[in-house]
Structure 1
Amino acid sequence: MTTSSRRASRRDQHRAGASGARRSARNTLIAYAFLLPFLALLVLYHTWPVIFGTYLAFARYNIISPPEWVGLDNFRELLRDEQFWSGLRNSLKYILVVPVIQVLSILVALLVNRPMKGIGFFRTAYYVPVVTSFAVVGLIWSWMYQQEGPVNAVLGALGLHRGGSLLNNPATALYAVMFVTLWKGIGYYMVLYLAGLQSIAPELEEAAVIDGATRTQVFWNITLPGLRPTILVCSLLSTISAIKVFEEIYVMTQGGPAGSTYSALFYTYSRAFQDFRYGLAAAAGLIIAVISILFGLLNFKLTRGGRADA
């Protein structure tokens, strides 16, 4: 009788296990069914363009004729193209805005993280430029940079600039555009840093203050190490955006004057949609992607992989 009961118990366990496995498989299929539309769009609009674009980097293509494999010819042409190297130099120079925007965003986040009356208004005011279309921002700042605009008036009063639009001067045009990027992006990174600040346990800072630490010591030893994961994310985003700068250039300068604001991505745009040389444009885009990855690895190195010490 005991043996029969044990056999019956094992059969029940086996049936329960089989039923559980079927239920798990069914739940997995349901989950993938819900994911399928997103996965299909991901493959259609992301994965496939990346694969096809990489192939085009080694081909000659003008939309009208089928792609023709040319190997490394596009890359050899880029190596000889001074316009591409000029755009790449300007894009790398644009990275100068990254540390500035990160430092200012942290300072603004510290400012608006304080519990004070009307702080919601200030947070909104800092974020308004982020949600404003760059077409509007570009037009406003282009007017402000004009010879008779307010920026020249202020600089002239300070004795820092005399006459002429900053956007029409090859020596200042790129830095003028960089300032607009800085002005527009601070609010975005401020929100990310604000979230990072609020994720740091307040008990750590309170304990440090009780032990006699000054506010400066608390910032360097508690707050900043705790922000390291956010710093990694923000520096990655801003570095990639700087290397791929395009919208600001397109709206405000079109690469001028005298190519002083011509960026690598603007070169890619010109080759693809003005010259219809999509293979050459894809090769330039592939080089930009590799450079972005290298700077991403450098960011990981500098921030120790985003590991927080606090």
Structure 2
Amino acid sequence: MNAWKKHGAALCYTLPAALIIVAFFITSIAYTLYVSFTDYDGLDSPHWVGFENYARLFQDMTYITSLKNTLIWVVATLVFPVGLGLLFSVMLQRIKGQRLFKNIFYLPYAMSLTVVGVIWVLLFSRTGINFVLTQVGLDKLALDWLNTPPYNTYAMIVASIWQGTGTNMLLFLIGLGSLPKEPFEAAAIDGAGRARTFWNITLPLLNPITIVVLGMSLVNSFKIFDIIWVMTMGGPYRSSETLAVTMYRESFVIFHFGQGAAISIVLTVISIAVSWFYLRQTIVKEA
């Protein structure tokens, strides 16, 4: 009763908005789940097809390729932007003019993924990277990057790494700046080298911020869409699609809403399962 008197007014203000969000969220999930079991095309009445849409996901090579590309994106996004962000943050701690370098590394993140995609389309054109390779005598390495599988996927991952590394670097810099000095002073007195200090002291103390960075990267890797659609539209021949791109194409390009809904449900389940496993493991380790 006392709690209601203390927080009742705040609850009255927030409850309507919360109810609206919950209602729309639950309704949309339920409707998407229903559509995933139909052959709905947006025009005719939906007909129940059971698990046919889900079965097709594991039989059609297009969808299997999409799933493989999604996994490649997840691994690459977790390893490279996070690893490079940590490396650059440690390096910047010992460099004068840190603010300038922070701005330079963070600038790509200030751009939308659409703008980043356009920039890297130009870089991977004949007048970009291929021109440089030709000029230095490495013309054999010049490729039609965005039209040659699987290099088109790797090329887009490079663009994504360029865009996302700066944010991870800033987060790690914040974490490094908040670390207590006592463990490092004790390590210096004991004669520990930089490498040993980093592995045994810095990394364990950075674990809370590392969990945040990895969690953000994990979520972003599953929903990647903009940069792929801008750079290749999932082509050629749908070879560079991820599940998010395939879901969009099925739903809003060829109007197979049932199939698109099934893909969205599978993507949601995978994202929740991976996130739950990751959080469970990190929480257990923290405990």
TM-score in terms of structure 1 length: 0.82
Which residue does 1:153 correspond to in 2? 131
Report the AA paired with residue 130 of structure 2: N
User: 1:105 and 2:60 equivalent?
Assistant: no
Contact preservation (8 Å) 1:229, 1:306: no
The alpha carbon displacement at 1:202 in A equals: 1.9
Larger Rg: 1
Contact 1:240 1:292 in 2 (8 A): yes
Q: Which residue of 2 aligns with 1:265?
A: 244
In 2, Cα distance between equivalents of 1:75 and 1:177: 28
CA distance in 1, matches of 2:209, 2:137: 37
Alignment of 1:93 onto 2:60: no
Q: Percent identity?
A: 32
Q: How does 1:43-192 map to 2 (within 5 A)?
A: 43-65=22-44, 67-97=46-76, 98-114=78-94, 117-149=96-128, 151-156=129-134, 157=136, 159=138, 161-192=140-171
SS where residue 75 of structure 1 aligns?
Answer: helix
| Structure 2 partner of 1:295 | 274
Distance 2:112 2:245 in 1: 19
Deviating more after overlay: 172-181 vs 208-217 = 208-217
Aligned equivalents of 2:70, 2:140: Cα separation in 1: 25
Unaligned ranges ≥5, structure 2: none
Q: Is the 8 A contact 1:230 1:306 kept in 2?
A: no
Q: 1:204/1:51 Cα in 2 relative to 1: closer, same or farther (>3 Å)?
A: farther
User: Over residues 192-212 of structure 1, what are the superposed CA-to-partner deviations in whole Å (9 max), with x where a residue is unaligned?
Assistant: 222222232122212211221
**Cα contact 1:232–1:305 (8 A) shared by 2:** no
- Paired with 1:298 and 1:171, the residues of 2 have a C-alpha distance of 29
The number of aligned residues is: 285
Q: Which amino acid aligns with 1:86?
A: T
Higher mean alpha-carbon deviation, 97-106 vs 70-79, is at 70-79
Q: 1:61 to 1:35 in 2, by over 3 A?
A: same
Given that 2:62 and 2:239 are in contact with CA atoms closer than 8 Å, whether structure 1 keeps it comes out as: no
Give the deviation of 1:63 after TM superposition.
3.5
RMSD (Å), alpha carbons: 2.5
| AA in 1 matched with 2:242 | S
**Alpha-carbon deviation of 1:231?**
2.1
* Mean Cα deviation higher: 158-167 or 254-263: 158-167
> 1:305, CA displacement in angstroms?
4.4
Mapped contact 2:116–2:227 kept (Cα < 8 A): no
2:23 equivalent to 1:39: no
1:85, distance to aligned residue in structure 2 (A): 1.0
Bigger Cα displacement from structure 2, 181-190 vs 77-86: 77-86
Unaligned runs of 5+ in 1: 1-20
After superposition, give the CA deviation of every residue in 1:214-269 in whole Å (9 maximum; x if it has no partner).
Answer: 11111000111112222222223223322332111100001112333121111110
Residue 235 of structure 1 contacts residue 299 of structure 1 at CA under 8 Å; is this kept in 2? no
User: Which whole-Å deviations, capped at 9, do the CAs of 1:115-141 have from their partners, x for residues lacking one?
Assistant: x54212211221111110222111111
Partner deviation per Cα, 1:155-211 (whole Å, 9 max, x = no partner)? 342637444431122241111101001100001211222222223212221221122
Name the TM-score, length of structure 2 as normaliser. Answer: 0.88
> Which residue in the other structure is 2:221 paired with?
242
Distance 1:76-1:260 versus aligned 2 partners, 3 A rule: closer
Whichever residue aligns with residue 254 of structure 2, its letter is D
